[in-house]
Structure 1
Amino acid sequence: MSATSNSTWSRRSLLRAAAGMAAAGSLAACGGNTGRGGGSGSGKNLVQYFHAYGEAGTEQAIKRYAAAYRGARVSTQWITSADFESKLFATLLTKNAPDVFEFHPQIQMVRSGQVADLTDLVAPVKDDFNPADIASHTVDGKTYGVRMIDDPQFFFYRKSMLDKAGVRVPETLDELIEAAARLTTGKVKGLFLGNDLHAVINPMIWSAGADTLNAKNEIAYHTDGVVDGLKKMRSVFTSGDLLLDAPTDYWDPSALNQGLCAIQFCGMWAMPQFQKALGDDWGVFPFPKVTAAGKPSVYNGGWSMFVNAKGENVDAAKEYVKWLWIEQKKYQEDWATSYGFHIPPRTSIAASASKLKTGTPAEGVRLFNEFGHFDNIGWTQAMITALEDVFADCVRKDGSPEAALDKADKAVGRELKKLFG
């Protein structure tokens, strides 16, 4: 599901919290629970952590699933989204640590021994998962975490606004910049990329024909195409056609729904809200290619379930995760499609998800399948921050892209040496 649609929570801030604590060695502290109970099961008491999703009904759904489990008493901590990362990683260091929690794949949590190896849970159904979801949770041949939902991100646009301005759906970054200019009027900006622009960093790299890291875990983003992309991003940032300082960030559909812009970067989770507000007057397209050698890209976010390897009930927690996120397909489909729209990571469930079969949701699935890129578990928060600094230096400011990338190379190189030698 979306990060939220009602807070300032950021996936990047969550990762920053995780990486910072892991780097300091803090995650080596022991945790467990103290018999806190809930639910209607028997045996062990388990606690699971979720951040407060923006979609109505999500908290009730998670608690309903847990209440149906008979192997343990499962209670849910539904944590205010703005506080989720600090609460999760602070609590992981104490005796009140959750047994199960949602997060994103991060190699530091594997290397610190914080998350349990779930290979035995996933192995029997591995072929039913999107292979990229398996790869993004795998370290040294072992799988850590079970993917719950895939969240592709696109550009959403108002069809009527493009038609009125005589603008076709952009297929290149140059065309997107031109469209933003033609769509900007006195009250409406042509384009919204999020308040800090961070959501489009990786898509821009992929659409320039590059990547964050290559298969050998070497720097792959420092290319001529990325330099060209940074220059183009600087031009749109200074054009006056970009919506800046919107009331809510990119994950919330209100910028487009309220007529603040004509094109907005957002996620598939918001499709029901777009449908409710705009009817059929909206569409989606991928991040367009940056250079002739590039191709469109779609970033796939999402959430996964992890077991606290330092808890007192690891085996019981693994059984619960197996029951809910491996065996209970009806709950998995409900979680993916009954609130916001998300793509089930299980291909058999995705194939039967009727709400994603027609219209713009089906187009989103097609773009995801054709152009999707997933998280690299070895791409750490320090590396993320290094590229955020690149955008700060030469998109928000008028610095040299080459100099900014050289600076990033040093920071990323230090991380790669620590992680991979």
Structure 2
Amino acid sequence: MSAMSNSNFSRRSIFRAAAGMAAAGTLAACGSNNGRGGGSGSGKQLVQYFHAYGEAGVEQAVKRYAKAYTKANVSTQWITGSNFENKLFPALLTKQAPDVFEFHPQIQLIKSGQVADLTDIIDPVKDDFNPADIKSHTVDGKIYGIRMIDDPQFFFYRKSMLEKANVPVPTTLDELIEAAAKLTTSKVKGLFLGNDLTPIQSNLIWSAGADTLNEKNEIAYHTDAVVAGLKQLRSLFTSGNLLLDAPADWWDPSALDQGLCAIQWGGLWGMPTMQKALGDDLGIFPFPKVGSNGKPSVTNGGWSMFVNAKGDNVEAAKEYVKWLWIDQKQYQEDFATSYGFHIPPRTSIAQQATKLKSGLPAEGVKLSNNYGHFDNIGWTQAMITALNDVIANCVRKNQSPEAALDACDKKVNRELKKLFG
């Protein structure tokens, strides 16, 4: 599985920060097995953090790449369980902090001096990256972080189920709600949006013709169309036509594969598994438009590699990151296309990624190009959590959307003031 949407970075249901702090305590206590001692390579000991990808082979691949690097001993912490950020952020405050870690571009990491400026290593190949990926990692002309994979997220559906129920592919939120009702039977739910519904929260905003923040870093999500969309989501939540307790969450293809639902929100990364399970009985479509002025949307999530600017080995870590994520194109292509599908952020690699060139994968790339929204570096973890609360309070509970959005505005504005003055 691979990427986090901007709306829900963990791909897993929300996990209490306290549990994350406890986990960070265990990480800090790793001591002798954190890779800082011993090792056969020359020079520095470097530690990198990765969240636990769901596809078979990713962990082995990451460790294989690291082993091939000769200028330092690179060990990998493979962080399992919910909410990677609840383990990463506390760990960054300890002496056991990683030298290198994957995450998403967020401006508080830059403002706090947590991540190193990587402009010098990216500049020579900058034009080979998707411009949207460069933009989402740039602050004041400096680039922080190297995009490893782009991960579009959209709806997957069982063609046979829609045909049998005489349901066309939805193009509006109204049609999606109607489809969910017609597709629901005693054994199958019409629709799966994730167990806590947060994976689609940004899409609800984009598809309503709004945005999280505008160009001036001001709130742009609090519109009449978004309020109307939240009311529609509430009606969907109470309809009985949503799958709400799937054994595996939305980032895993199993709900659709096992026939628990007819339509599922998911990521391009899950497509090979779905195709293996369902063959040609698989289609995709973007989040449909919300309201009359809306337009379809796709989340272009993804993961990026950062260097811990507060670590002891900044230069050695930058050298390693350059070696792996700039120089080793064969590893970059392997990472993007051999373990689930991801779009390589570099044009030269994307152009030769034959697995994405035809059929449904090519359709997924097209949806990403036509309707994709990339990370906004100003939209931070605290803001994402504030929006999670809107979904919890007005969709899953019955608070008025206006009241829920007002509460969200206060939290987001507090963050914006801290970050932008």
TM-score w.r.t. length of structure 1: 0.91
1-side partners of 2:81 and 2:68: how far apart?
Answer: 25
8 A contact 1:256–1:263 mirrored in 2:
yes
One-letter code aligned to 1:364? G
Q: RMSD between aligned alpha carbons?
A: 2.3
Report matched runs for 1:81-230 at 5 Å.
Answer: 81-82=81-82, 84-230=84-230
Q: For 1:222-251, what per-residue CA distance to the aligned partner results, in whole angstroms no more than 9, with x for missing partners?
A: 111111111111111111111111111111
Deviation larger for 315-324 or 394-403: 394-403
Q: Return closer, same or farther for 1:236/1:62 CA change in 2, 3 Å cut-off.
A: same
Paired-residue identity, %: 78
Partner of 1:355: 355
Distance 2:342 2:37 in 1: 32
1:303 positional shift? 0.9
DSSP 3-state at the match of 1:393 = helix
Aligned to 2:26: none
Question: What is the alpha-carbon distance in structure 1 between the residues aligned to residue 110 and residue 275 of structure 2?
Answer: 40
Deviation at 1:281, TM superposition (A): 0.7
Pair 79,403 (structure 1): closer, same or farther in 2 beyond 3 Å = closer
Aligned residue pair count: 405
Secondary structure class of the residue paired with 1:218: coil
User: For residue 36 of structure 1, what is the amino acid of its counterpart?
Assistant: G
**Aligned residue in 2 for 1:2:** 2
Structure 2 Cα separation of the partners of residues 116 and 334 of structure 1? 26
Contact 1:172 1:289 (C-alpha < 8 Å) held by counterparts:
yes
In 2, Cα distance between equivalents of 1:156 and 1:355: 18
* Alpha-carbon distance, 1:34 to partner: 8.4
User: Does structure 1 conserve the Cα–Cα contact (< 8 Å) formed by 2:130 and 2:346?
Assistant: yes
Instruction: Out of 94-103 and 84-93, give the one that drifted further.
Output: 84-93
**Contact map agreement 2:301 2:374 (CA 8 A) in 1:** yes
Q: Unpaired runs of 5+ in structure 1? A: 22-32
| Cα drift, residue 73 of structure 1 | 2.1
Letter paired with 2:303: W
CA deviation profile, 1:348-400 (whole Å, cap 9, x unmatched): 11111011111111100000011000121111222212222222222122322
In the other structure, the counterpart of 2:253 is 253
Residue 26 of structure 1 is matched in structure 2 by: none
Displacement of 1:57 in angstroms is 1.0
Structure 2 residue identity aligned to 1:342 = H
* Alpha-carbon separation, structure 2, partners of 1:414 and 1:84: 24
Contact 1:268 1:342 in 2 (8 A): yes
Q: What is the SS of the residue equivalent to 2:265? A: strand
Query: Does the CA contact (< 8 Å) of 1:16 and 1:381 recur in 2?
Result: no
Measure, in 2, the Cα distance between the counterparts of 1:219 and 1:16: 26
- Mapped partners of 2:15, 2:135: distance in 1: 19
Does the CA-based 8 Å contact 2:167-2:182 persist in structure 1? Answer: yes
Deviation at 1:136, TM superposition (A): 1.3
**Do the aligned partners of residues 276 and 232 (structure 1) sit closer, same or farther apart at CA in structure 2, a change above 3 Å counting?**
same
Other-structure match for 1:74: 74
Q: Secondary structure at the match of 2:309?
A: coil
Question: Residue deviations 1:45-64, cap 9 Å, x none?
Answer: 22212122211111111111
The answer (yes or no) to whether the contact 1:99–1:311 under 8 Å persists in 2 is yes
Contact 2:15 2:82 in 1 (8 A): no
Contact 1:192-1:265 at 8 Å conserved across structures: yes
Deviations 1:127-147 (A, max 9, x none): 111111111111222111111
Question: Structure 1 residues 276-285 or 47-56, which shifts more?
Answer: 47-56
8 Å contact kept, 1:170–1:176: yes
Residue in 2 aligned with 1:28? none
1:244-271 deviations in Å (ceiling 9; x for gaps):
1111111111111111110000111101
Per the TM alignment, residue 14 of structure 1 is displaced from its structure 2 partner at its CA by 8.8
- What residue is the counterpart of 1:409 in the other structure? 409
Aligned mates of 2:198, 2:216 — CA distance in 1? 25
Superposition deviation, residue 287 in structure 1: 0.1
In the alignment, which residue of structure 2 is the partner of 1:345? 345
Give the AA of the match of 2:293: A
Return 5+ residue gaps in structure 2 as ranges.
22-33
Equivalent pair of 1:17/1:85 in contact (CA under 8 Å)? no
Whichever residue aligns with residue 90 of structure 2, its letter is A
TM-score, L = length of structure 2: 0.91
Q: Answer whether contact 1:390 1:401 (CA < 8 A) is retained.
A: yes
Matches within 5 A, 1:344-383: 344-383=344-383
Could you say if the C-alpha distance between residues 253 and 35 of structure 1 is closer, same or farther in structure 2, counting changes exceeding 3 Å?
closer
Counterparts of 1:198 and 1:176 in 2: how far apart (Å)? 17
Give SS of 2:78's match: strand
| Large movers: runs of 4+ above 4 Å | 11-18
Deviation larger for 393-402 or 192-201: 393-402
Aligned AA (1:367): L
Q: Counterpart of 1:312?
A: 312
Relative to structure 1, the CA distance from residue 219 to residue 232 in structure 2 (aligned partners, 3 Å threshold; closer, same or farther) is same
Distance in 1, matches of 2:299 and 2:123, equals 26
State the AA in 2 paired with 1:294: G
Residues in 2 aligned to 1:105 and 1:234: alpha-carbon distance in whole angstroms: 31
